[in-house]
Amino acid sequence: MEQERRPVIFSGIQPSGELTLGSYIGAIKNWVELANDYDCYYCIVDMHAITVRQVPADLRRRTVEQLAQYIACGLDPQKNTIFIQSHVPAHAELAWILNCYTMFGELGRMTQFKDKSAKNAENINAGLFDYPVLMAADILLYQADLVPVGDDQRQHVELTRDIAERFNGVYGDVFRIPQTFNPKVGARIMSLTSPENKMSKSDKDPGGCIYIMQKPEDIMRSFKRAVTDSETCVRYDPVNKKGISNLMQIYSVATGKSFETIESEFTGRGYGEFKPAVGEAVVEMLRPIREEATRLMADKAYLESVYREGAERAAHTAARTLRKVQKKVGFIPR
Ligand code: TYM
């Protein structure tokens, strides 16, 4: 008899910088909300991070900090499999095989590749080009049903589906075809200083990005300086009022209030009142996370036990898919 299977979630974040408010709202917050109904795998994708040069000691530090922050955000390591990508070699092994089922032209069309190669013109390495195939391997190894990500990763999940369908077309039902999960509000949080650009950990302008571990006074300062427009009314209009609409999204996520409620709450009160209110709501949302992550960081032995156990569990699931794929393509079993 077939065992009852819970639907599976897979998602990951690169430890290539400090975790941002964008990643928290676009991804992690939803992971926590979805965690009860799924079998969840949350990965720290250090192999993706090295597609851009990293200082090794910083990468190591941020990898462990990110694990502490995942847990502090509410991901229970007993209920979710939390692990480091490079600890499960099946990711690299499947990525190689999938490379042979991915077209050069498909990878060349990826917006993120185009953006990143424009930003790193001196280091357009093969890993940067191949990045979405490793991401496809991450997702397909666990037969994920749902991939909760921000808007900027949607194209990569679509490519994952294409690769999986192509492979299944040749060999039968090997991979489950994953769906993207984008939050209704907050799938694309914008920079506070240039609201036409995504909030990003690689942002050169320090005031544009909020980090989940940032001190309350620094968060408040960035919100008070957030770029708005020449009107004075708090109204949701993402085309003409990008800055205010972005702040409304953030405020809505932090307080649970709808856009209508926010508009009436701030009727007749200018941006001088709205901006610090958003800052305060974010400070309060992040406070318990920052405190818990700081506490966890002091317990290295615990964090080590979490990533070791996570890798063991992940490797077990991943091996099942990898063996099946290797057999299909004609490799001799070890
Ligand atoms: P990364 O590390 O760039 O971002 C992590 C997650 O945060 C989301 N995100 C945002 N959401 C809303 N507004 C923003 N400003 C914002 N900035 C970031 C991203 O969409 C993402 O969900 N390739 C992935 C990591 C990855 C992965 C995977 C994800 C590797 N393998 C498998 C899912 C499944 C990345 O670079 O995310």
Using DSSP, state whether 105 is helix, strand or coil.
Answer: helix
How many domains would you assign to the chain? 2
Do 28 and 90 sit in the same domain of this protein? Answer: yes
27 lines ligand 1 (CB under 6 A): yes
241 lines ligand 1 (CB under 6 A): no
The two structure tokens encoding residue 309: 């156990």
Cα four-point dihedral sign 324, 327, 331, 334: positive
Nearest protein Cα to ligand 1, atom 7: 23
Residue 187 counted as domain residue = no
Residue 47 and residue 86: Cα distance in Å, rounded? 6
258 Cβ contact partners less than 8 Å away, ≥ 6 residues apart: 252
26 lines ligand 1 (CB under 6 A): yes
Do 147 and 267 sit in the same domain of this protein? Answer: no
Core vs surface per residue 72-111: b (16+ CB within 10 A) or e = bbbbebeebbbbbbbbbebbebbbebbeebbeeeebeebe
Do 175 and 63 sit in the same domain of this protein? Answer: yes
Do 228 and 167 sit in the same domain of this protein? Answer: no
CATH number for 17: 3.40.50.620
Whether the CB-CB separation of 128 and 51 falls below 8 Å is answered with yes
Which of these, 45, 202, 215, lies nearest to 120 by C-alpha position? 202
Residues in the chain: 334
Do 243 and 222 sit in the same domain of this protein? Answer: yes
| Predicted pLDDT at 285 | 98
The two structure tokens encoding residue 109: 């069309």
For the beta carbon of residue 333, count every other beta carbon within 10 angstroms.
Answer: 6
Q: Going residue by residue through the chain (334 aa), what tens digit of pLDDT does each one get?
A: 456 789 999 999 999 999 999 999 999 999 999 988 999 999 999 999 999 999 999 999 999 999 999 999 999 999 999 999 999 999 999 999 999 999 999 999 999 999 999 988 999 999 999 999 999 999 999 999 999 999 999 999 999 999 999 999 999 999 999 999 999 999 999 999 999 999 998 877 889 999 999 999 999 999 999 999 999 999 999 999 999 999 999 999 999 999 999 999 999 999 999 999 999 999 999 999 999 999 999 999 999 999 999 999 999 999 999 999 999 999 999 8
To the query of whether residue 116 is one of the catalytic residues in this protein, the response is yes
Do 150 and 281 sit in the same domain of this protein? Answer: no
46 lines ligand 1 (CB under 6 A): no
Do 110 and 150 sit in the same domain of this protein? Answer: yes
CB-neighbour burial class of residue 126 (10 A; exposed 0-12, middle 13-18, buried 19+): exposed
Do 44 and 172 sit in the same domain of this protein? Answer: yes
Q: Domain range spanning residue 271?
A: 206-294
| Predicted pLDDT at 65 | 98
Residue 250 counted as domain residue = yes
210 lines ligand 1 (CB under 6 A): no
Q: Which atom of ligand 1 is nearest to the CA of 135?
A: 31
To the query of whether residue 198 is one of the catalytic residues in this protein, the response is yes
Whether the CB-CB separation of 188 and 198 falls below 8 Å is answered with yes
Residue 11's φ and ψ, nearest 5 degrees, are -155, 165
- Catalytic residue, candidates 201, 224, 257, 328: 201
199 lines ligand 1 (CB under 6 A): yes
CATH number for 226: 1.10.240.10
Residue 148's φ and ψ, nearest 5 degrees, are -80, 115
Which of these, 111, 147, 174, lies nearest to 323 by C-alpha position? 174
To the query of whether residue 29 is one of the catalytic residues in this protein, the response is no
Do 68 and 113 sit in the same domain of this protein? Answer: yes
Do 287 and 310 sit in the same domain of this protein? Answer: no
Residue 193 counted as domain residue = no
Furthest CA-CA distance within the chain: 72
Residue 198 counted as domain residue = no
The alpha carbon of residue 66 and the mean position of all alpha carbons in its chain are separated, in whole angstroms, by: 12
Question: What DSSP string runs through 105-118?
Answer: HHHHT-HHHHHHHH
Q: Which of 14, 116, 143, 152 to mutate to test the pocket of ligand 1 (most atoms within 8 A of CB)?
A: 152
| Predicted pLDDT at 2 | 52
| Predicted pLDDT at 1 | 47
- Catalytic residue, candidates 198, 241, 242, 275: 198
How far away, in angstroms, is 67 Cα from ligand 1 center? 15
The two structure tokens encoding residue 96: 């190689």
Do 157 and 88 sit in the same domain of this protein? Answer: yes
Residue 321 and residue 317: Cα distance in Å, rounded? 7
Which of these, 26, 74, 23, lies nearest to 288 by C-alpha position? 74
Residue 17 and residue 202: Cα distance in Å, rounded? 7
Residue 279 counted as domain residue = yes
